Amino acid sequence: QRKVTTRRLAEMKQRGEKIAMLTAYDFSMAKLIDEAGMDVILVGDSASNVMAGNITTLPITLDQMIYHAKSVVKGTQRALVVVDLPFGSYQGNSKEALASAIRIMKESHAEAVKMEGGNEIRESIERILCAGIPVMGHLGLTPQSINKFGSYNVRAKEEAEAKKLIEDALMLEEIGCFALVLEKIPAKLAAEVASKLTIPVIGIGAGGGVDGQVLVMHDMLGINKGFSPRFLRRYADLSTIINEAVGNYISDVKTSDFPSEKEQY
Ligand code: KIV
Ligand code: NA
């Protein structure tokens, strides 16, 4: 059970072996996901939505991301653990970006960070890379910029935005990012980027022509039912399972069925 490294991911792309990535935010789920054989576990700032109940990813803090990252690292033996740098911890100030990334690496013992954006954040990415911290890029739909976009619709459908995305992707590879996430863009564009780049391209809502896939754990396990975009495949209906289990517990308590003779000292 060899530890997954950034180098190993590069080899997987060369071999044409697809990369499986999933989010986790806590020890117990990270352990289950790691034991199932996941290649990459992302401590996503989607924790802001699914763990903290915020509408966007913007409110989550660096301290909160580090708390989640520490818990995930403790539960993970094999997968590469990547942590999102949260909104406000890296944009527009490369010195602060480096300080944020160093805190994540030092305090959580994660192995890489992920950052949203292209040319706008180039200086921040370069500075972090210079410190020997692996960076995963993230282009297309970048939820930290939701207030600029105004919607979570498919990105880069127009020629100009597609052209910029390709340029940004090439730049991210050029400066040394080890992988790239493409979120919610046309499959054709994502496949083109994946074929142009030698680093692995991991898609979410970006079709099958990329080098791997990532999903948010709560979405694919059916924990939150309200979210059902086209790209999401549900592998379980945990909300129903949990609702029934908890309902049964409540009624067993109410009827004094629980605890039984055998379940007491
Ligand atoms: O925060 C997150 O979960 C992510 C993935 C959707 C790529 O960034
Ligand atoms: Na994210």
pLDDT tens by residue, 100-159? 999 999 999 999 999 999 999 999 999 999 999 999 999 999 999 999 999 999 999 999
pLDDT of residue 225: 85
Ligand 1 and 214: CB distance under 6 A = yes
Has residue 257 been placed in a domain? no
Q: Which domain holds residue 17?
A: 6-237
ipTM for the predicted complex comes to 0.99
CB atoms within 10 A of CB 48: 24
pLDDT of residue 112: 99
pLDDT of residue 175: 99
Residue type, 229: P
- Gap between the Cα atoms of 165 and 117, Å rounded: 9
Residue type, 234: R
CA 258 / ligand 1 centre spacing (Å): 40
Has residue 216 been placed in a domain? yes
Has residue 258 been placed in a domain? no
Secondary structure of 217-243 as H, E, C letters: HHHHCCCCCCCCCCCCCCCCCHHHHHH
Q: Is 263 tagged catalytic? A: no
pLDDT of residue 196: 98
* Total count of domains within the chain: 1
- Is the pTM here over 0.90, yes or no? yes
- Gap between the Cα atoms of 63 and 65, Å rounded: 5
Has residue 263 been placed in a domain? no
Question: For residues 115 and 121, is the Cβ–Cβ distance under 8 A?
Answer: yes
Has residue 249 been placed in a domain? no
Q: How far is CA 198 from the centre of its chain?
A: 21
Least distant ligand from the CA of 139: 1
Residues with pLDDT less than 70, the chain: none
Look up the CATH number of the domain holding residue 58: 3.20.20.60
Q: Whose CA is nearest to atom 2 of ligand 1?
A: 44
Q: Which residues of 154-171 are buried (b: 16+ CB within 10 A; e: fewer)?
A: bbbeeeeebeebbebbee
Ligand 1 and 220: CB distance under 6 A = no
Ligand 1 and 46: CB distance under 6 A = yes
Has residue 147 been placed in a domain? yes
Which atom of ligand 1 has the smallest separation from the CA of 57? 1
Ordered alpha helix ranges (H), the chain: 6-15, 27-35, 47-50, 62-75, 94-108, 122-130, 146-149, 159-175, 187-196, 217-220, 238-254
Has residue 201 been placed in a domain? yes
Show the tokens assigned to 179. 């992988």
Q: Which residue in 107, 159, 183, 263 is the catalytic one?
A: 183
Has residue 250 been placed in a domain? no
Which atom of ligand 1 has the smallest separation from the CA of 181? 7
